[in-house]
């Protein structure tokens, strides 16, 4: 009887182990089934997410270069033109009213110093001394020689007018006074003396 009981207990223990093994196997099957179901549920979502990521990457890659091009173009459009404005041509200042411009001022050509001009000046000085000494006729002859050597010397005409005025020849005095005024018009001091001589000739004629 004891042997049977032991066998029975051994059989029960074996059956219990077998049942526990079956339960473990069943639980494993249930877990594997649930994981398969869960993975089958996640598979579409992961593929959708992957597709969305690919779409976003494609859109960003397409939209990226134009933005870069626009940013690269905008500075060139905003660069101002650095060309310098042309400076206006400079005009000379206008002369003050009443002051002749340099173009209007006519300068008399300087007389060249020649032996004839030097000799004429010496004769003019001699004639002046002769007039002061009262030698009018000799002074006139000397002045005529000086005038032939240098016809542009207005002093010769002035002293000739003085000589003819002393001789009371007013017509000759007026003629040589007029010639002296023409040749000595650029000299202020001589112009005043010639004008004073013309007044004396007029008073002497009256």
Which 8-state DSSP code applies to residue 115?
Answer: H
pLDDT confidence tier of residue 115, bands split at 50, 70 and 90:
confident
d(CA 163, CA 132): 10
Higher confidence at residue 72 or residue 126? 126
Is position 72 within any domain? no
Contacts within 8 Å (CB) and 24+ apart, 131-136:
131/159, 131/162, 131/163, 131/166, 136/163, 136/166, 136/167
Structural domain ending residue among the three candidates 28, 44, 63 = 63
Q: How confident is the model at residue 107, as a pLDDT?
A: 43
Q: How many CB atoms lie within 10 A of CB 12?
A: 10
Q: How confident is the model at residue 73, as a pLDDT?
A: 53
**Which range, 3-17, 55-69, 95-109, 116-130, has the best average confidence (pLDDT)?**
116-130
Structural domains counted in the chain: 2
Q: How many CB atoms lie within 10 A of CB 106?
A: 8
Is position 190 within any domain? yes
pLDDT confidence tier of residue 133, bands split at 50, 70 and 90:
very high
Q: How many CB atoms lie within 10 A of CB 160?
A: 25
Structural domain ending residue among the three candidates 63, 82, 104 = 63
Average confidence (pLDDT) over 10-33: 53
Joined tokens for residue 95:
């002369």
d(CA 128, CA 168): 18
pLDDT confidence tier of residue 111, bands split at 50, 70 and 90:
low
140's torsion region: left (phi>0), alpha (psi -120 to 50) or beta? alpha
Is position 110 within any domain? no
Is position 175 within any domain? yes
Which residues have C-beta within 8 Å of that of residue 195, sequence separation ≥ 6? 181
Per-chain mean pLDDT for the chain: 72
Structural domain including 178 reads 115-205
pLDDT confidence tier of residue 55, bands split at 50, 70 and 90:
confident
Q: How many CB atoms lie within 10 A of CB 166?
A: 15
Is position 107 within any domain? no
Contacts within 8 Å (CB) and 24+ apart, 180-183:
180/154, 180/155, 182/154, 183/152, 183/153, 183/154, 183/157
d(CA 132, CA 141): 15
Average confidence (pLDDT) over 100-109: 45
Q: How confident is the model at residue 155, as a pLDDT?
A: 94
Is position 134 within any domain? yes
Average confidence (pLDDT) over 159-187: 95
| Lowest-confidence region among 27-31, 143-147, 175-179, 188-192 | 27-31
Q: How many CA within 13 A on the CB side of residue 120?
A: 20
Domain holding 193: CATH number? 1.25.40.10
Q: How many CB atoms lie within 10 A of CB 153?
A: 21
| Lowest-confidence region among 45-54, 120-129, 155-164, 193-202 | 45-54
Higher confidence at residue 176 or residue 110? 176
């Amino acid at each position: 009887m004891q042997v049977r009981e032991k066998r029975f207990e051994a059989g029960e223990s074996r059956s219990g182990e077998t049942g526990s093994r079956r339960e473990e196997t069943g639980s494993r099957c249930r877990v594997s089934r649930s994981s398969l179901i869960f993975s089958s549920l996640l598979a579409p979502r992961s593929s959708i997410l992957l597709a969305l990521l690919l779409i976003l990457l494609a859109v960003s890659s397409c939209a990226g270069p134009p933005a870069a091009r626009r940013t690269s173009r905008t500075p060139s459009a905003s660069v101002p033109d650095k060309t310098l404005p042309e400076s206006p041509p400079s005009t000379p200042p206008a002369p003050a009213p009443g002051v002749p411009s340099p173009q209007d001022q006519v300068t008399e050509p300087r007389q060249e110093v020649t032996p004839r001009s030097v000799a004429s000046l010496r004769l003019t000085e001699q004639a002046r001394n002769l007039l002061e000494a009262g030698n009018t006729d000799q002074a006139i002859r000397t002045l005529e020689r000086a005038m032939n050597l240098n016809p542009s010397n207005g002093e010769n005409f002035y002293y000739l007018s003085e000589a003819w005025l002393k001789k009371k020849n007013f017509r000759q005095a007026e003629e040589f006074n007029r010639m002296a005024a023409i040749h000595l018009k650029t000299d202020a001091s001589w112009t005043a003396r010639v004008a004073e001589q013309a007044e004396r000739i007029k008073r002497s004629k009256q």
